[in-house]
Chains A and B, each alone.
Chain A
């Protein structure tokens, strides 16, 4: 069925290293993708988005890459900091804002 999923449920990185969080999606009709960060006890916080007519988009310390050929999405965080520790969700949309969320992956940053 149609789904959005993540390869790694937990990712542990050293402070200062770069982090890469991956996400696979199965619906080739998806045209909008978002990454969210969720800290404990809080709601998901928007990080960055990308539309299907792009393959890369950069923000502050974050980059999202979209590979439509293999239906793969990744979030790269440069110089990972302790404050980046959280659960990260990818989500995809096929018709406006009806987002389908993946199960999330936990990023742990070691000092």
Chain B
């Protein structure tokens, strides 16, 4: 099992460009998440999807959109990238039935110039 797979691993964008970060999980989890990690800020939730067909805003959703394409895949889109979106982005998934651990991918390091 690969767990949670994120692509790409690295990306450099110019201000105003758009891109989509891809995430897929093979653990048959219902819930999926997008976090960003910045120095001194810890992990902050951008969007999450409790189940296929639903998405909800997290702590820092502005400037992002998400799509839960199917049970396996959850993508994060930046329509018009800004330097403030320079960060490391982590996708995660978890099962259902109350509190359960999140399983993370290895991240996408995004730089916006």
Residues of chain A at the chain B interface (Cβ within 8 Å): 31-32, 34, 36, 41-46, 49, 51, 89, 91, 93, 96-99, 101-104
- Give the CA-CA distance A36 to B90 in the complex, in Å: 14
From residue B80, how far is it (CB to closest CB) to chain A in Å?
A: 27
Instruction: Report chain A residues within 8 Å CB of B31.
Output: 97
A1–B98 Cα distance when bound, in Å, is 25
Contact B4 A98 (CB under 8 A): no
Assess whether A101 is in contact with B43, with CB atoms less than 8 Å apart. yes
Residues of B within 8 A of A36 (CB): 104
Interface SS of chain B: strand
Within 8 A of A (CB), among B59-103: 90, 92, 94, 98-103
A96 near B90 (CB under 8 angstroms)? Answer: no
| Known pairs A97-B31, A97-B94; A103 contacts B40 (CB<8 A) | yes
Check A102 against B101 for contact (C-beta < 8 Å). no
> What residues of chain B have their CB less than 8 Å away from a CB belonging to chain A?
4, 31, 33, 40-45, 48, 58, 90, 92, 94, 98-107
Contact between chains at A89 and B43 (CB < 8 Å): yes
When the two chains form their complex, are residues A101 and B42 in contact, meaning their CB atoms are under 8 A apart?
A: yes
Residue of B nearest to A9 (CB): B40
Known: A98-B45, A101-B43. A42 touches B102 (CB 8 A): no
Residues of A within 8 A of B103 (CB): 46
B24 to chain A, nearest CB (A): 14
**Would you call B43 and A32 a contact (CB within 8 A)?**
no
* Set of chain B residues within 8 Å of A49, measured between Cβ atoms: 99, 101
Q: How far is the CB of A66 from chain B (nearest CB, A)?
A: 14
Give 10 A-B contacts (CB < 8 Å), ordered by A residue: A36-B104, A43-B90, A44-B43, A51-B99, A89-B42, A91-B43, A93-B99, A97-B100, A103-B42, A104-B42
